Amino acid sequence: MDHHRQIRRGYPEVIYCPGKTNEQIIKIFSALAAKGNNVLATRAEERVFNALAETGQFADVRYEKLARAIVLEQKKVEPSKSAIPIVTAGTADLPVAEEARVTAEIMGQRTEVICDVGVAGLHRLLSHVQKLQDANVIIVVAGMEGALASVVGGLVSCPVIAVPTSVGYGACFEGLSALLTMLNSCAAGVSVVNIDNGFSAAVTATLINRKIEQAGSK
């Protein structure tokens, strides 16, 4: 299996960093950047970014610390007309939400992170209901019992991409409880990606949003 992949033509090249040495990542990153494409390295520790920056090859490379992502933008992508809401249950879910945001934005999507509106403070979600109902697709990021995805799914008539996170006490089983809750959601239109996989949620949401906007422009 290749160490990297191109999601779609015109989209960024992507490197998954865990399991690779700094030298391997730099070699792959350099090869992809040489094509002139945008490059995204996910799950990258800061030491990887530092090693990459020290090569002096990439003047515009940046590190998104919370998302643990390395981003190199060499091509401007036309931004989407509509924003993708990324809704988090709690502040502890922000690293996964940020991975989703960074991924979606390098793919040309406008985003809006709506933070800390989980079921323990559900009243905070109410002021965002109209915004959610106007969206083409929504990403919901939640740990603990993962109930927020069902709540949002019951309020809107667009696809909801649910991301269970490994946030929670021991009985959450590192995200398994949230995953099972989301898979068993009674709210139609909720689809679930793997635990902590903000990247996959962003790619899926981008593909949906792009198709809807392309259809609307015909």
* N-to-C CA span, the chain: 38
Percent of the chain's residues with pLDDT above 90 = 65
User: Is the separation of the CB atoms in 175 and 143 below 8 Å?
Assistant: yes
Asked if the model's pLDDT at residue 47 lies above 80, the reply is: yes
Secondary structure class of 161 (helix, strand, coil): strand
Asked if the model's pLDDT at residue 1 lies above 50, the reply is: no
pLDDT at site 218: 66
* Spatial separation of the C-alpha atoms in residues 68 and 168, rounded to whole Å: 20
pLDDT at site 178: 93
Asked if the model's pLDDT at residue 7 lies above 50, the reply is: no
Q: What is the pLDDT of residues 93-133, one digit of tens each?
A: 999 999 999 999 999 999 999 998 878 778 888 889 999 99
The size of the chain, in residues, is 218
In single-letter form, the type of residue at position 172 comes to: C
Distance from chain centroid for Cα 66: 12
pLDDT at site 60: 86
* Spatial separation of the C-alpha atoms in residues 13 and 71, rounded to whole Å: 10
User: 22-33 vs 46-53: helix axis angle to the nearest 10?
Assistant: 60
Higher pLDDT: 148 or 215? It is: 148
| DSSP letters spanning 164-192 | E-S-SSGGGGGGHHHHHHHHT--STTEEE
pTM for this entry: 0.88
